[in-house]
Structure 1
């Protein structure tokens, strides 16, 4: 389900892996695929598809932004350096990976508090239900939510990306 969002979403700061602060606005007018990731999850092989999307569309105005999260069955227990090494060595990840976040609860990262207001294809909003929940943010401010079981290379995600790439 598509939902128009306030452009302020792009201005919400988050912590980068190197300890800095960034916003989604720092990526300019790109199509962004924001996803909470984990290294020890049954869905971890989705890293491969995320990286394939990154390679296929990066030079056309797209990027994946990964947010490691340890809130689901402790499936991202390592420190950020360990996570970055794992992503690079195991999956060849070249897309940006931010610092670890909480996506649910009172201490959820402000970016995820805002993202969770978006409805999915079934019209449901609310908590992130597991690792690898995906949010596609378009340059025009539309936000699309895809649950963890929807693979990154699913035609519905690819269509949203391709339709919204900058000219």
Structure 2
């Protein structure tokens, strides 16, 4: 193991931009294992394009998608106001439960597209919901990392 890896990682994080999927600031060694953790709510095609930068350097990409159950099936009822924390743009919704079905369908389609892209590009993808123990996600991620050394990749995509 590289003794300066942690130091280089800290330096790269210090130089990071607001874009969580910006091209890697540090070169990734061929055959490296790259773990990317996030909610992956951005456009799936943009995510795939950016993660391809790691794979293009010869690394295996492992994505751990963290989802709150309220994102998949929102608990909204009654009148609710949505606010974009970055722009402060607001949207007032009446009968928010009427929005739930469309939201849930789009959220599921987004996850399915991420899984399709992961399978197509050979990445492992684990989706973890925050109502489950974190150990489950870590074990699934560990299994994907072990697959690089001990056999085929785990099934890429979907919930584990």
Q: TM-score, normalised by structure 2?
A: 0.33
Higher relative contact order (CA 8 A, sep 6+): 1
Which has the larger share of helix?
Answer: 2
**Which protein shows a greater Rg?**
2
TM-score (norm 1): 0.32
